[in-house]
Amino acid sequence: MKILVTGGAGFIGSHTCVSLLENGYDVLVYDNLSNSSEESLRRVEKITGKKVEFVKGDILDKEKLNEVLSKDKFDACIHFAGLKAVGESVEKPWEYYQNNIAGTLNLVDAMRNNGCKSIIFSSSATVYGDPAEIPITENCPKGTCTNPYGWTKSMLEQVLSDIQKADNEWNVILLRYFNPIGAHKSGTMGENPNGIPNNLMPYITQVAVGKLKELGVFGDDYDTPDGTGVRDYIHVVDLAEGHVAALKKIKENCGLAIYNLGTGVGYSVLDIVKNFEEANDIKIPYSIKPRRAGDIAACYCDPSKAKAELGWEAKNGIKEMCEDSWRWQKNNPNGYEN
Ligand code: UD1
């Protein structure tokens, strides 16, 4: 079985390539390297001892997508490629809608032109907005997103669902990720954000390695046990395995299916700081800052549907997530640019 992995050089994509290769799939990565490094794919090859085919290309390049899809027979596409910085999406909405939405429409068109009608789409818990229920099940109504990035995920879910409804040869699996952190156990692959990180764990690891002075905790007056925001952090390797489980579901011709991928456990910002400090014996200086615009108090899922239907559940706990994030950062203080 051969899988087209768009955005396969990125954080979640590269870890998913490892899981795919370890499970006997062949992969072709299609990535424009705008926010990723080809070095990640060399590390995938080193870990798995297998070859990763790579095409440098943009999802906005319709011709190139058609060329790639016409040259090979792909059993499915896992579609990670997209712009993903929340703050930047508020500044550059046109670029986000153009890249994420037009790019995905190009991809789907090239897929159907070439007889590949199975797609796994990287969606996000962000589609629930401020969730109507906690823990969040897949039946929770979608909400109002607070930024264009979130809207692209929500809109693309609709687009792909409608395409599947109109043509039942399509299999569409929407995976709603909660908060991916952690890194491969080898310490050779992990998250490699451009510039100052926006997300919590890469910020913490950069404080730990001495690149940043202290963590700002965005708000301590939320309606949560310690007042700081609560999220469902999931180990990126568990998340990667979720894609392999979803591919098995696609083989059964599942039609349209939606799954939350999280652990079902919520940790506050201060829980994460404390667990990181204990797991790695490092102090993380922090100070309380005002709330960040668009943040919600709490967000964690009920992952039981994925367990029942995909036979998948997260295996790593918070200790492993903290240890593995740190091993990666410590061994690669400058990410893949060493
Ligand atoms: C964010 C996005 C989400 C996206 C995800 C990707 C929003 C509203 N949501 O999730 O759409 O899919 O990233 O991983 O932006 N925090 C601090 N200090 C920091 C950074 C974060 O206190 O320096 C806090 C936040 O307030 C939040 C928690 O840590 O309570 C997690 O934040 P973050 O890692 O940015 O993820 P989300 O905001 O949950």
CA of 250 relative to ligand 1 center, distance in Å: 31
User: How is residue 277 written in tokens?
Assistant: 């400090």
CB of 203 closer than 8 Å to CB of 212: yes
Task: Provide the residue type at 8 as one letter.
Answer: G
133 pLDDT above the threshold of 90: yes
Q: Which residues contact 226 (CB under 8 A, 6 or more apart)?
A: 220, 268, 270, 271
Catalytic residues: 149
| pLDDT, tens digit, 9 for 90 and up, residues 143-192 | 999 999 999 999 999 999 999 999 999 999 999 999 999 999 999 999 99
Residue 338 confidence (pLDDT): 66
Query: Phi and psi of 286, rounded to 5°?
Result: -145, 160
| Closest of 322, 336, 260 to residue 39, by C-alpha | 336
Taking residues 295-322, what's their average pLDDT?
A: 98
Taking residues 85-108, what's their average pLDDT?
A: 97
User: Residue 158 in 3-state DSSP?
Assistant: helix
CA of 126 relative to ligand 1 center, distance in Å: 10
Taking residues 73-84, what's their average pLDDT?
A: 98
Pair type for strands 179-181 and 233-235: parallel
User: Residue 183 in 3-state DSSP?
Assistant: coil
Average pLDDT score over the chain: 97
For atom 35 of ligand 1, which residue has the closest CA?
Answer: 199
70 pLDDT above the threshold of 70: yes
CA of 20 relative to ligand 1 center, distance in Å: 28
Residue 120 host element (H or E): strand 118-124
Q: Which residues contact 139 (CB under 8 A, 6 or more apart)?
A: none
Q: Which atom of ligand 1 is nearest the CA belonging to 299?
A: 39
Taking residues 88-109, what's their average pLDDT?
A: 98
User: How is residue 331 written in tokens?
Assistant: 């061994």
291 pLDDT above the threshold of 70: yes
Q: Which pTM does this prediction carry?
A: 0.98
Q: Mutate which of 196, 199, 230 to test ligand 1's pocket (most atoms within 8 Å of Cβ)? A: 199
CA of 305 relative to ligand 1 center, distance in Å: 24
Task: Provide the residue type at 73 as one letter.
Answer: K
| pLDDT, tens digit, 9 for 90 and up, residues 231-274 | 999 999 999 999 999 999 999 999 999 999 999 999 999 999 99
| pLDDT, tens digit, 9 for 90 and up, residues 221-234 | 999 999 999 999 99
Task: Provide the residue type at 171 as one letter.
Answer: N
For residues 225 and 271, what is the distance between their CA atoms, to the nearest angstrom? 10
For residues 48 and 264, what is the distance between their CA atoms, to the nearest angstrom? 30
Taking residues 300-304, what's their average pLDDT?
A: 98
pLDDT band at 337 (very low <50, low <70, confident <90, very high): confident
Q: How many CB atoms lie within 10 A of CB 168?
A: 11
Q: Which atom of ligand 1 is nearest the CA belonging to 146?
A: 8
